[in-house]
Amino acid sequence: MSLDAIPALTRALDRFSLWCGRLVAWLIVPMVLSLVYEVVARYFFNMPTVWAYDMTFILYGTFFMLGSAYTLMRKGHIRTDTFYANWSPRRQGVMDATCYLVFFFPAVAIFGWLGWEFFWKSFQQGERFVTSPWMPAAWPLKFMIPLAATLLVIQGVSEVLKSIYAAVNDIWPPTVVAPIEAGPPRDLA
């Protein structure tokens, strides 16, 4: 692959993560509605539900896991940039590419592999959350672990390609949206 193709490829991968992030963001609506319903039912009608708490933690867990690739694309994960911010794009790119290849991809691969085994065992056993009288199936939430790992790998490929581009060209390629620290998201493509 030519270095000239990297910006187009990373924009396509970033658009995918942006689309997934925007889709996952809508999970906040049913989560809030289930909480509001529970509060009204419990405190105004003295009729608490058996499902609202479970619905909330399942939706929040899904929201948290599936939003991680979007957060990576927006550069919203914690990073210490005391020195990094003063480096040239070339040096930043070398450091980022190295860290993605040495730390990020191996960790996400293990996370995805173990997450798949965790999900698959739950699915085969028909596992349910026994801490609740509603007893919802556990495997849909556990499936979010390997799905999140897959989304992270896709976005990680975009990030490592951007890093390689910066390391070679001493300039970062254009992005689909601005990083979180730069303000609200805006479409650039």
| Close Cβ partners of 140 (under 8 Å, ≥ 6 residues apart) | 58
What's the CA gap between 145 and 148, in Å, rounded? Answer: 5
2: left (phi over 0), alpha (psi -120 to 50) or beta: beta
In a domain, 111, yes or no: yes
Q: Residue 122: inside a domain, yes or no?
A: yes
78-102 residue pLDDT tens: 877 788 889 999 999 999 999 999 9
Distances in Å between the alpha carbon of 142 and those of 25, 54, 55, 107, 160?
Answer: 19, 14, 14, 18, 28
pTM of the model: 0.88
| Residue 12 domain boundaries | 3-77+87-173
168 in a structural domain: yes
Report if residue 70 sits inside a domain.
yes
Q: Is residue 184 part of a domain?
A: no
Residue 183 lies in a domain: no
Q: Flag whether 126 is in a domain.
A: yes
Domain count, the chain: 1
187 occurs within a structural domain: no
pLDDT above 90 coverage of the chain, percent:
78
Give 141-188 pLDDT, tens digit per residue: 999 999 999 999 999 999 999 999 999 999 999 887 766 655 555 555
